[in-house]
Chains A and B, each alone.
Chain A
């Protein structure tokens, strides 16, 4: 799994790629929680994720719950098909705010 982090004001974008599994999800979790700790609105970009297991989904859930608790925005963007399938199966597509792309979320407010 690769993580890249960038700022697109006012958002922090955490971009994940590759396999988000039991081995790599702790790093994803840390990157997500770091952004939330700084009270930054956060988009997790999942365009290049090939595989995500339940521990990866749990990292997203934890981020979502933490952001919700403190009232900051949390969303998923450009969700790759394998991840979308996992989210749909668990009906989590109805829980997470999902955007077609980072740009789509940015232009929504423009």
Chain B
């Protein structure tokens, strides 16, 4: 009889254990699915804490996460009679801090006899914490935070080794879910930044001039090396028929260079409509940029004006690499800068130079052209640029420039630097 009874008990226990395991698997599956289905981490964690509370039969459950500095732990979700959501403690404070610091499950059967237990939260909430089980949340040895359950309701009110193992299993799943959610958030953020960069690029392109017709005597091109460019060119016609043009290169790369580029091209377009003297224009532009420039950023720039009826070009150069004049017979002349770049020194007096085109052509370009790489990996260099211009000397300027650009900006390759050119004549 005794044996039969014992057998029955064992069977019952085994059956109970099986049912318990099935229930646990059910809990893990349901919480995991919720994590996958919901992009909102906060809501999902709140649901998870409620399910853990019910399943483990405890009075309260909370999830604490480490902040980016790893200095603080904040309760991001909880279930129980009082809410401590938003509560922040030091990363090593209390039982939660101990679980995070040690990387192991902490079981406190009687809080009164544990010196790490702080009753401060209980004092605020009125809740009475008697026993705690707290598991660290980790992923590949990276600490994320901790999952804590408080006051076992059933049995003797104490947590058992089974509870410890169960909480460890749940913590593993919660860690994975939190890590996935954090990665999703990072991806969403990346996507947002990418959209903003796309928008910045569109706006920046709209600052450059539209192509003129084939016979228009000034043309240019700009290919940024990344999303946004630190180079620019511009040209526009004055009421008297003169054409004001300019090309510049901001030091450095990226968004800060792009913003200074936007400022410089806008000021140039505005001042260029009322200041016919290019030296005065650059002096004024320099004063404006010096006033607000930061991080030592500066702009090298050539600004000029063409009288299409006489072929006379007046221009001033602020520290930009020498414009190249190709005369009608194919001889080149480099015209060096006389003054430093914009944005470095106040009260610089720029000087204007004059050039007669005489059916020749003036080329202004950034170092992205001469330092650009050809298909064989070699730097184009000034001799390479001259050879290319010679080869295409019979073509309209726009085609001549695009031939140079297409040699450097090849499909499937990435430019090392922004590539910008302008031709006058």
Known contacts A62-B296, A90-B300, A95-B340: A55-B251 contact under CB 8 Å = yes
Known contacts A54-B249, A55-B252: A61-B337 contact under CB 8 Å = no
Interface set, chain A 53-102, CB cutoff 8 A to B: 54-55, 57-65, 89-92, 94-95
Question: A22 contacts B295, CB within 8 Å?
Answer: no
Cβ-defined partner of A65 (8 Å) among B296, B339, B341: B296
Known contacts A62-B295, A63-B296: A54-B340 contact under CB 8 Å = no
Answer yes or no: B51 CB below 8 A from chain A CBs: no
The chain A residue with its CB closest to the CB of B254 is A22
Complex formed: what's the CA distance from A58 to B296 in Å? Answer: 5
- The residues of A that contact B249 with a CB separation of less than 8 Å are 54
Interface residues on B, range: 20 to 34
- The residues of A that contact B336 with a CB separation of less than 8 Å are 89
What is the total number of residues of chain A having a CB less than 8 Å from a CB of chain B? 19
Cβ-Cβ contact count across A and B, 8 Å cutoff: 61
- The residues of B that contact A65 with a CB separation of less than 8 Å are 296, 344
Answer yes or no: B94 CB below 8 A from chain A CBs: no
Q: Interface 1/0s, chain B 294-309, versus A by CB < 8 A? A: 0111101000000000
Question: B340 contacts A58, CB within 8 Å?
Answer: no
The chain A residue with its CB closest to the CB of B337 is A91
- The residues of A that contact B321 with a CB separation of less than 8 Å are 89-90
Q: Interface 1/0s, chain B 279-312, versus A by CB < 8 A? A: 0000000000000000111101000000000000
Question: A61 contacts B339, CB within 8 Å?
Answer: no
Answer yes or no: B163 CB below 8 A from chain A CBs: no
Closest Cβ of chain A to B94, distance in Å, is 39
- The residues of A that contact B296 with a CB separation of less than 8 Å are 29, 57-65
Answer yes or no: B338 CB below 8 A from chain A CBs: yes
Complex formed: what's the CA distance from A59 to B300 in Å? Answer: 16
Cβ-defined partner of B338 (8 Å) among A54, A58, A91, A92: A91
Question: A22 contacts B252, CB within 8 Å?
Answer: yes
| Residue from the set A60, A61, A63, A89 with the largest chain B CB neighbour count within 10 Å | A61
Cβ-defined partner of B251 (8 Å) among A54, A91, A95: A54
Answer yes or no: B345 CB below 8 A from chain A CBs: yes
Answer yes or no: B253 CB below 8 A from chain A CBs: yes
- The residues of B that contact A89 with a CB separation of less than 8 Å are 319, 321-322, 336-337
Secondary structure type dominating chain A contacts: helix
Complex formed: what's the CA distance from A60 to B298 in Å? Answer: 11
The chain A residue with its CB closest to the CB of B290 is A65
Complex formed: what's the CA distance from A29 to B294 in Å? Answer: 13
Closest Cβ of chain B to A98, distance in Å, is 14
Q: Interface 1/0s, chain B 250-267, versus A by CB < 8 A? A: 011100000000000000
Closest Cβ of chain B to A15, distance in Å, is 19
Question: A61 contacts B252, CB within 8 Å?
Answer: no
Question: A90 contacts B253, CB within 8 Å?
Answer: no
Complex formed: what's the CA distance from A64 to B298 in Å? Answer: 13
Known contacts A58-B297, A61-B296, A61-B298: A92-B340 contact under CB 8 Å = yes
Complex formed: what's the CA distance from A90 to B336 in Å? Answer: 9
Interface set, chain A 3-31, CB cutoff 8 A to B: 22, 29
- The residues of A that contact B320 with a CB separation of less than 8 Å are 90
| Residue from the set A59, A64, A90 with the largest chain B CB neighbour count within 10 Å | A90
Closest Cβ of chain B to A81, distance in Å, is 17
- The residues of B that contact A55 with a CB separation of less than 8 Å are 251-253
- The residues of B that contact A29 with a CB separation of less than 8 Å are 295-296
Closest Cβ of chain A to B4, distance in Å, is 80
Question: A94 contacts B340, CB within 8 Å?
Answer: yes
Known contacts A58-B296, A65-B296: A95-B344 contact under CB 8 Å = yes
Complex formed: what's the CA distance from A22 to B251 in Å? Answer: 10
Question: B339 contacts A91, CB within 8 Å?
Answer: yes
The chain B residue with its CB closest to the CB of A88 is B336
- The residues of A that contact B339 with a CB separation of less than 8 Å are 91
Interface set, chain B 308-364, CB cutoff 8 A to A: 319-322, 336-341, 344-345
Complex formed: what's the CA distance from A33 to B71 in Å? Answer: 30
Question: B252 contacts A90, CB within 8 Å?
Answer: no
Question: A90 contacts B319, CB within 8 Å?
Answer: yes
Closest Cβ of chain A to B243, distance in Å, is 26
- The residues of B that contact A63 with a CB separation of less than 8 Å are 296
Complex formed: what's the CA distance from A95 to B300 in Å? Answer: 14
| Residue from the set A29, A54, A91, A92 with the largest chain B CB neighbour count within 10 Å | A54
Closest Cβ of chain A to B59, distance in Å, is 53
The chain A residue with its CB closest to the CB of B321 is A89
4 closest cross-chain pairs (CB), A and B: A62-B296, A90-B319, A61-B296, A54-B251
A binding-site residues for B, Cβ under 8 Å:
22, 29, 54-55, 57-65, 89-92, 94-95
Q: 16 A-B residue contacts at CB 8 Å?
A: A22-B252, A29-B295, A54-B298, A55-B251, A58-B252, A58-B295, A60-B296, A62-B295, A63-B296, A89-B337, A90-B300, A90-B337, A90-B340, A91-B341, A92-B341, A94-B340
